[in-house]
Each structure stands twice: as C-alpha cells, then as structure tokens.
Structure 1
Amino acid sequence: MNIPIDLPRLKGFRYPREIIAYAVWAYHRLALSTADVEDLLAARSVIVSREAIRLWVNRLVNTLQIAFAGTDHGRTTSGTWMK
C-alpha cells in the first residue's frame, strides 16, 4: 500500500499517519474486523487497542477515502463490483 503524498497531517494522534492509514485501509479494503487489524499491527510490533482502531475508522474514513481516491487506478471506491 502506498500512502498518498497529499494525505493530510493527522494532528493529535499518538501514532504516525502511515500506521493509522494502514489500519483504516486494512479494515475497509480487506474487510477485517478491529480484532484482525489489531493482530495485524501487533505482528508488526505496533500495540494498539481495538477501540483506538474503531475510533480511527469512524473519524478518518472520509478523509482517507478522499486522499486515496486518486490512487485507485480505475477501481470503484464504493466497494461494489462493476458488471
């Protein structure tokens, strides 16, 4: 996953924007639960709670969707398959 250069700075968060963006991306793009994302990050030595992941997703999904919209390479951003 490539983090877009125009991703806004996320002030007030403990973790760098790359970790937060990866967690939100994995939650939505890979259809993982917060527990799965927590385990995925723990395997990379990032200890974060499920509640923090849920808050990131709820607060940042629109911001990150706009930032990643240009990097989708023709795929839809709605999560549905086009026929």
Structure 2
Amino acid sequence: MKKSKSLYHGHRFPAEVISCAVRWYFRFQLSLRDIEELLFERGVIVTYETIRCWCDKFGKGFAHWVKAVQRKPGSTWHLDEMFVTLRGEPHLLWRAVDERGAELDILLQKRRDKAAAKRFFKRVLRSSP
C-alpha cells in the first residue's frame, strides 16, 4: 500500500506554521504583513510574499474545510422585527434566527412591504429545514 504524500510536502516550513498562517489570513482578515509580524513574534521568520503564496495555494482547500465544518441551522427558528434608525431615517429590520442564535437571513427595508416580506419568508424557509 502506497503512503500518500502530505499536502505540505516539499515546503520548508512545518505544516502547522503554514496552516496557521492561512487560517489567520482567511478567518480574521489580517493583512499579510500582520501575519508576518505575528509569526515573527513566535520565532518564525517568513516574508509576507511567502504567506501570500501559501494563501493562494492552500486557501481554496481551507475554504472547503471551513464550509464542511460549519454548523447546519437548527430546526426551530424565530423572526425578529424591529425599527432601526440609519442616517436619521427609520428602517425596518427583519432577522431570522435559529435556536442557537445563528442568523439565517436579514432583510432591511425603508417601509413595510408585503411582497418583500413574503419573498424573505420563502427564502428563509427554502434555506432552513
């Protein structure tokens, strides 16, 4: 039986360093230079250009992994309706929230619109169980 090569095979840095840098870049939306500085504080000397190459190469796989791990919405959900003021004007905010508090969808409109509310309900019902 053949042993498959690691995804990070042939790279100078360990897989933990590469995956940590890619995760920081996509998860926390840090700049490449910020990540370079954070790694330097931990004793890893790497350029921001190397981090950019890692993000280009491994970013797609990381995004697929995050999407697969992401929690599915709960079976029970609630709808909040509230008025908010934006730039001095009142707006109506609709939020669909599941039982764990995760937002399923948001709708913001200037005034109550029955047709838009129906479309919002249909979209939320289609996406949740």
Query: What TM-score results when the alignment is normalised by the length of structure 2?
Result: 0.48
User: Percent of counterpart pairs with the same letter?
Assistant: 32
How far apart in 2 are the matches of 1:44 and 1:22? 12
Post-superposition shift, 1:47? 0.4
Q: Which runs of 5+ in 2 are unaligned?
A: 1-5, 74-102, 106-129
Q: Which has the higher helix share?
A: 1
Partner of 1:32: 30
Post-superposition shift, 1:72? 3.6
Partner of 1:61: 59
Partner of 1:3: none
Q: Which has the higher strand share?
A: 2
How far apart in 1 are the matches of 2:31 and 2:104? 25
- 2:41 is aligned, of 33, 40, 43, to 43
- 1:20 is aligned to 2:18: yes
Q: Which has the higher Rg, Structure 1 or Structure 2?
A: 2
How far apart in 2 are the matches of 1:45 and 1:74? 38
Matched residue count: 71
How far apart in 2 are the matches of 1:14 and 1:59? 15
Post-superposition shift, 1:34? 0.3
Q: Which runs of 5+ in 1 are unaligned?
A: 1-7, 76-80
How far apart in 2 are the matches of 1:54 and 1:82? 32
Of residues 16-25 and 59-68 in structure 1, the stretch that sits farther from structure 2 once superposed is: 59-68
